[in-house]
Structure 1
Amino acid sequence: MVATVRTVLGDIPAGELGVCDAHDHLFLRSPALPGQELGDRERAAGRLRDFLALGGRSVVQWTPYGMGRGAETLASLSRSTGTHVVAATGLHQAAHYTKELLGRVRDGLADLFVTELTTGIGTTGVRAGLIKVAGAFHTVDDHARLTMTAAAHAHRRTGAPIAVHLELGTAALDVLDLLCGELGVAPQHVVLGHLGRSPDGFTQREAARAGAVLAFDGPSRANHATDWRLPEELAALADAGFGGQLLLGGDTTVPETPGMPHLLRRLRPQLERTLGKQLLDAILIENPARAFAFGPTA
């Protein structure tokens, strides 16, 4: 059976993803980021066109439920720019929602995620292609346990990959203990985001050794002092045998983030000198094709 990735225009063979920004945002809105919304369709289209002109082909948007995903716009953007776009279901940290919204959805999260993965987001007909959840700073709090438990149930019913925001890059092993240990999700279907924001080589290697996919996404607006370590972190993980588990993303979270064009215009040449073209091509092309493919269902 050919592995498939679920884009906003439908399922495609995973091998068609091409050069992939594995973690980004075209649209995003949160009460935690007042006045810094990503909501302009033309600016989103411009970023996609710039990315395409630099050789990019696919963008995985990690914006989950209730955060202004722009689901009604994603299909037309994908079609008009010629890029593949993957949308997300899931739920972020509680700080990104009102209490009223959390109260409405908390008891039916797994069903909500499954519906958005299989039927569509609202009335748009656009189906999500991954489940986004989030840990807390150095821990898995009650909200994270709730959302990750729902994500695991939805994964078993659909095969969708699970993407995890690690707060400042922390709690990776706690997340894996819950998702892969207690909840039984196969680690190759778990993508850990923001590993570079806590440049702890031991934890990175342990997470890779457990079988998870490691996403290095930025540059980090709040933690830029860690960005310069990226080449050596990737090289160390590749030298340890984990080159097939690495991803790169732009993670545009506010309008001034350099995001997806920066990933290919500035970061790619730097990393090619450090890692070599063969490994970098694997990180940008081959690894995302595996990481975002749907797995078997329970």
Structure 2
Amino acid sequence: MTGARSAGSRTVNTVLGPVPADDLGMVAVHEALLSVVPGAEHAFDVTMDRAEIFEVLARKLTDFREHGGKTIVDSTGMFHGRDVKLHEALSRSTGVHIVASTGMGPEEMLGGYFLTPQTDPPTPWPAERFAELFTAEVAEGMVVPRVQRRAAAGLVVTAAGREGMTATEESLFRGTARTALNTGVAASVRYGSDAVGELDMVLDEKLPVDRVVVGGLDREDAVAAGAAFEVARRGAFVALDHVGLHDEFHVSDRERAELVVELVKAGFGDRVLLSSNAIGVAKGLSGHELPYSYVSATFVPLAKSLGLGEEDARRVLVDNPRHLLIPR
């Protein structure tokens, strides 16, 4: 068995196999290596030169390592550019641990197969079918198309659209929670329109609250509603995972840094996770062009200037991701 629990309770699944949790070091907990809009690989104007992709990603991972980074979590899930063999080669070449994920979402990014009703009368895919699909990627290894299963996924991820959760997205969230419950890996959910309500949906599946990450909590609407504090109060992890991005939907880095300091002062320092959602190589979409070292090299010093202590900075960058990634 390849799954998380077979390797022992103090190891974490990486693409090169289980590693001791204490070896993870500083973690970039929600990034993307290669991100491909489904179908873009077949477009006439999109090149998929694997040697070039490898070179770009190796350079970025090496920079991350030189700035103290040791582990990166690729949170793209299934079918959006996740390439396990590429990840394996990158990890061997750069010395950076890579934790890959299973899961999918939001609905608008799903392939037609997962949106095709296969029951009579027609209904969306049920949560249990998604759970079976995702659980196998943890327990038996991630699928490499037309080849085999390889390394086990170390996280299960999903997301909902901002317009409000669809029936398929509810199945995804519940299936993600069941996968986490079945395998012991954590569930990472990028909220759509109601961070607390969608957390409650996941918890309705009896998943312990400390095995859940709620992402996207540095969005303007989430910050205005105080969602990060309510999610942390419940006991889930709070992911401010668009560090470096300031657009119509997300707050500025200064506002993020102030939020981090406020969360720590409120006693929630052990619930905070930081990441950039940076995309190393993007195909068919606009890349979020930031170095993977941005959080530690640029953002954390800003937060320290606003009152974040050294011990709390280490907790956010090292301790909290480690606790999240150890299967329970």
Shared fold, TM over 0.5? yes
Three-state SS of the structure 2 residue aligned to 1:132 is strand
1:5 aligns to 2:31 (yes or no): no
| Pairing 1:25-104 to 2, within 5 Å after superposition | 25-30=32-37, 40-103=53-116
TM value normalised by structure 2? 0.82
1:50-199 matches, cutoff 5 A: 50-103=63-116, 106=125, 108-122=129-143, 123-137=148-162, 139-167=164-192, 170-180=193-203, 182-197=204-219, 198-199=222-223
What RMSD in Å do the two structures reach over aligned CA positions?
A: 2.5
CA distance in 1, matches of 2:310, 2:263: 16
**Residues in 2 aligned to 1:265 and 1:36: alpha-carbon distance in whole angstroms:** 32
Match of 1:269 among 301, 313, 317: 301
Q: Could you say which residue in structure 2 is the equivalent of 1:203?
A: 227
Task: Output the CA distance in 2 between the equivalents of 1:164 and 1:144.
Answer: 11
Which residue of 286, 294, 298 corresponds with 2:327?
294
Structure 1 gap segments, 5+ residues each: none
| Counterpart Cα distance in 1 of 2:326 and 2:26 | 15
Larger mean Cα displacement after TM superposition, 118-127 or 60-69: 118-127
Q: Distance in 1 between matches of 2:313 and 2:12?
A: 21
Aligned partner of residue 239 in structure 2, secondary structure: strand
Q: Shift of the alpha carbon at 1:221?
A: 5.9
CA positional deviation for 1:132: 0.5
Moved more, 13-22 or 139-148: 139-148
Q: TM-score, normalised by structure 1?
A: 0.90
User: Which deviates further from its counterpart, 86-95 or 251-260?
Assistant: 251-260
More helix by share: 1
CA–CA distance in 2 between the matches of 1:61 and 1:245? Answer: 20
Residues 1:256 and 1:243: Cα distance change in structure 2 (over 3 Å): closer
Do 2:115 and 2:125's aligned partners in 1 also have CA atoms closer than 8 Å?
yes
After TM superposition, give the deviation of residue 196 of structure 1 in Å. Answer: 0.7
| Structure 2 segments unaligned to the other structure (5+ residues) | 1-7, 119-123, 280-285
Task: Determine what percentage of the aligned residue pairs are the same residue.
Answer: 27
Counterpart-to-counterpart distance in 1, 2:89 and 2:316 = 28
Given residue 130 of structure 2, which amino acid in structure 1 is its aligned partner? L
Q: Does the Cα contact within 8 Å between 2:137 and 2:153 map onto a contact in 1? A: yes
Q: Contact 2:155 / 2:185 at 8 angstroms: preserved in 1?
A: yes
Counterpart amino acid of 1:175?
E
